[in-house]
Amino acid sequence: MNTSIEVEYWVIDTDGELTSPGALAETSDQTEREFVEPLFELKTPPCETVDELQRTFVEELDHVLSRARRVDKRLVPLGTPINSDEIERRPDERGRIQKEVVGENFDYAKYCAGTHIHVEKRNVTDQLNALIALDAALALVNSSPYYQGNRIASSARAYCYRKKSYEEFPKHGQLWHYVETVGEWHRRLERRYDEFKQAALEEGIDESAVEEHFSPDDVVWTPVRLREAMPTVEWRSPDAALPSQLLRLTDELRSVMEQLHHTTVEIERDSDPRNTGHVTNDGISLPEFDTACDLAEAAMHDGLDSTEVTRYLDRMGFSVDDYHPISTRIDGRQFVPKSDARDLRLEYASLLEEDVDRLVQSLEV
């Protein structure tokens, strides 16, 4: 099953200040700038095996870090920059239209760095439903509880996207209900596109501009997306995090996606929320949608401090004890000043570099 990863990392200078990636974004065809100035994205091509994915990701990231050292820049694996000066959006017509339609709350997205995991389309209905049910797995790699210094949730990034950026357009940014067919998903996308286009027209945006920069395939920012152009099913919920943790998460998520191709998948009805959802040799059972949403909310707010979340993820096949979310390590304050945020960015830039060094060494063994 082809699998790929896209990860966004903050770029800082040697003082911990956010800065532009500059030439780092031109390291290879797998690197590029994001829609805000200090954000950098690394993406792998589709890889047939986990070993191939790990080698591709680690070697590319190691190459980027080598180049970064030569220009006194570093990468930071945090879901938000914790606290910083205002972040500027790069000039972009698509972003301008989004801001006009979504409103001022769209600016919350400027402070978010995440991970997107793509899996090859197979049993697409089952894949979509399983990823919706597994959304609580975001808790395994929560990496910043702070937005502009304030403590808001174990995953401040997920909170900003779901509760703030798309507060007025919840169907464009929050978890969708399970589907019975792929056609049902496509019909939802068509409706969301029509809603977005109508809202844009009401803001005085030319219809041709909307049609040029948006399509049903890319008009939503939901945690789970069906990507026709790639073609993949994409899970967008996790924060940016240390590479070793993201590779573990991708491996375990991929295992569930692989298993559903060879077994039955059912959605439980009237089940006990405290013991719902299982991945076993006999099949995969998914919790009711409302329960899946409750678990995702707990994962976003409380992370692995939620007993219900950890027990659920264990039943769904994740080795919870092997994850060490950064949010758990840096949580505990109601407010983090900018000077402390700079220190934390420097600290986690160092931990990312050490993490990559260990991964490189493991590839050489």
Show me where the domains of the chain are located: 79-336
Kindly give the confidence (pLDDT) of every residue in the chain, 365 residues in length, as a single tens digit, with 9 standing for 90 and above: 999 999 999 999 999 999 999 999 999 999 999 989 999 999 999 999 999 999 999 999 999 999 999 999 999 999 999 999 999 998 889 999 999 999 999 999 999 999 999 999 999 999 999 999 999 999 999 999 999 999 999 999 999 999 999 999 999 999 999 999 999 999 999 999 999 999 999 999 999 999 999 999 999 999 999 988 778 999 999 999 999 999 999 999 999 999 998 999 999 998 888 899 999 989 999 999 999 999 999 999 999 999 999 999 999 999 999 999 999 999 999 999 999 999 999 999 999 999 999 999 999 87
Contact 298, 287 (CB under 8 A): no
Q: How far is CA 92 from CA 35, 50, 89, 173, 217, in A?
A: 8, 35, 8, 20, 19
Strands 278-280 and 73-76: unpaired
Q: Which residues are 71's β-sheet partners? A: none
Residue whose pair of structure tokens reads 């209900």 in the numeric block:
177
Contact 73, 22 (CB under 8 A): yes
pTM given for the model: 0.97
Q: Output the six-digit token pair for 175.
A: 């978890």
